[in-house]
Amino acid sequence: MTSAEDAVAPEPAARGRQRLRRPGRSRAAYAFVLPLLAIFAAFYAWPALNTVLSSGFEWGLINPWRLTEPGSWEFVGLGNYSETLGSESFWNAVVNTTIWLVFFPLLVTGVSLIVSILIWFAGRGLAPLLFRTAFILPMTISLAAVGVIWGFIYNPDPDFGLLNAVVGALDLDFEIDWGPLHLQTGQWLSDLGSLDLGFTELRLTNLSLIAPAVWAFIGFGVITFTAGLTSVDQDLIDAARVDGARLRHVIRYVLIPQLRGSLVIVAVVSVIFALRTFDIVYVLTDGGPGSDTEVLALLLFKQAFVFLDEPDAGLATTVAVLLSLVLVAGAYPYLRRLLEGTPR
């Protein structure tokens, strides 16, 4: 550490000196980046390239397609893409993923915004810190464990599943049919109900899977919004209050505009999360019952790794490519922000 301390207090002569010019291109730079780039090239770039190229072939993992001998399987061009885009299981997964894509970011952003503002109003001290910790804590839990834990809560047996015990004790169980909407309590993971949109039917059981994900992911929003709120000028709030502004006006016209940047981050990151979702679905329902809760990431996994005797890996790669394209497009504003920090 001594050398660092020396460096922190540079010689007066050096401190007075004008800023040195940046050195030119440095040979050493390549040595610094090489280890990481080599690993990145071998275990990211190369397999990703393989994924894209092999999506032009019909192949299965029993005898995998290889770039070195591409002719071992039949080249189908864009055939896998047209087959995927024409398949029922793909569109079923798209519908389920869309439910995630709508509800997950909305719930994460909304709930964590409300929670963060409430805690911010509670001020500083031990209690607000503990509140914040309670919401951040589930973020450290693996989604596989989140699935297991919520499996207990959702258990249909009212002597074991907490949710059904509470619903039973408070006499809250119901079954409703409002036109296209069918909703019922009790069988949380097998049949929560459905909403008929005419062109497609939404399986509401997906919502039972979204809830644990929201529970686990709120912490990210709380951290991000809290950081945004620390920069809010307290005098501004006081001035507004003195002028007789109502609380909801303060929130609407003072706090929310300050949080615009944080809102974009939370929304985009939760969109990314929703599109990638796999673990919770895999653990809680494995896409069932039937394929009611099968999302794109799970469909791809099953095509490639579960039904090994069918050469569907090519189809799985097309799903991976399409998913990645949608993600990069959807996350574009976030990517832009990330790249604004590009070093010179």
Partner 1 sequence: MRGPGRSRASMLALYGGLTALSLLWLVPVASAFMISVLPQEQSRDGWWSFDLSDLTFGNYERAWNEGLSDYVLNSFVITTLAVLLTVATGVLAAYAFARLRFRLKRSTYFLLITTMIVPVQIILIPMLPWFKTLGFEEGGLQYVGIVLVHTAFGAGWAIFMLSSFISEIPDEIIDAARVDGAGDWGIFRRVVLPLTVPGIVSFAIIDFVFVWNDLLLALTLLGRDYQPITVGLANLQSPNLAQQDIVAAGSIIAILPPLLLFALLNRLYVRGLFAGGLKG
Q: Which three-class secondary structure state does DSSP give residue 184? A: strand
Q: How far is the CB of 117 from partner 1 (least distance, A)?
A: 9
Tokens representing 198?
């005419």
By CB under 8 A, how many residues form the interface with partner 1? 128
Which span (85-93, 99-107, 147-155, 180-188) binds partner 1, by CB under 8 A?
147-155
CB of 243 to partner 1, least distance (A): 14
Among 56, 105, 193, 212, binds partner 1 (CB under 8 A): 212
- Window contacting partner 1 (CB under 8 A); options: 63-71, 72-80, 95-103, 198-206: 63-71
Residue 210 binds partner 1 (CB under 8 A): no
Closest to partner 1 by CB, 195 vs 263, is: 263
Binding of partner 1 by 120 (CB under 8 A): yes
Q: What's 57's DSSP letter?
A: E
Range in contact with partner 1 (rule: CB under 8 A) among 33-41, 98-106, 186-194, 199-207: 33-41
Nearer to partner 1, 187 or 194 (CB): 187
Which residue in the set 76, 106, 136, 167 belongs to the binding site for partner 1 (CB under 8 A)? 136
**What Å distances lie between residue 98 and 160, 206, 283, CA to CA?**
32, 10, 20
CB-nearer residue toward partner 1: 48 or 181: 48
Segment near partner 1 (CB under 8 A); pick from 71-79, 86-94, 174-182, 265-273: 265-273
**How far apart, in Å, are the Cα atoms of 137 and each of 129, 132, 176, 278?**
12, 9, 36, 21
User: Binding marks (x or -) toward partner 1, 215..254, rule CB under 8 A?
Assistant: x--x-x--xx--xx-----x--x---x-----x--x----
Q: Does 183 bind partner 1 (CB under 8 A)?
A: no
Burial 245-277 (b: 16+ CB within 10 A, else e): beeeebbeebbeeebeebbebbbbbbbbbbbeb
Residue 207 neighbours by CB under 8 Å, 6+ apart? 99, 103, 192
Query: Among residues 97, 123, 171, 193, which is the contact residue for partner 1, using CB under 8 A?
Result: 123
**Site for partner 1 contains 145 (CB under 8 A):** yes
Which of 23, 71, 77, 86 binds partner 1 (CB under 8 A)? It is 23
> How many whole angstroms separate alpha carbon 130 and alpha carbon 56?
53
Give the HSE-up count for residue 235: Cα atoms under 13 Å, Cβ half-sphere.
0
Q: How far apart are CA 59 and CA 53, in angstroms?
A: 12
CB 290, min distance to partner 1, A:
17
Which residues between 74 and 113 bind partner 1 (CB under 8 A)?
none
Q: For 262-298, give the DSSP string.
A: HHHHHHHHHHHHHHH--HHHHHHTTT-STTTT--HHH
CA distance 117 to 15: 44
Residue of 180, 198, 195, 335 whose CA lies nearest to 271: 335
Q: What one-character DSSP code corresponds to residue 21? A: P
Site string for partner 1, 274-293 (x = CB under 8 A): -xx-xx--xx--x-------
Select the residue interacting with partner 1 from 106, 134, 167, 195 (CB under 8 A): 134
| Distance (Å, whole) CA 73 – CA 66 | 9
| 157, 171, 243, 309: which one binds partner 1 (CB under 8 A) | 157
d(CA 58, CA 82): 12
Tokens of 112: 């964590």
Sole window of 39-47, 86-94, 173-181, 187-195 interacting with partner 1 (rule: CB under 8 A): 39-47
Is residue 133 involved in binding partner 1 (CB under 8 A)? yes
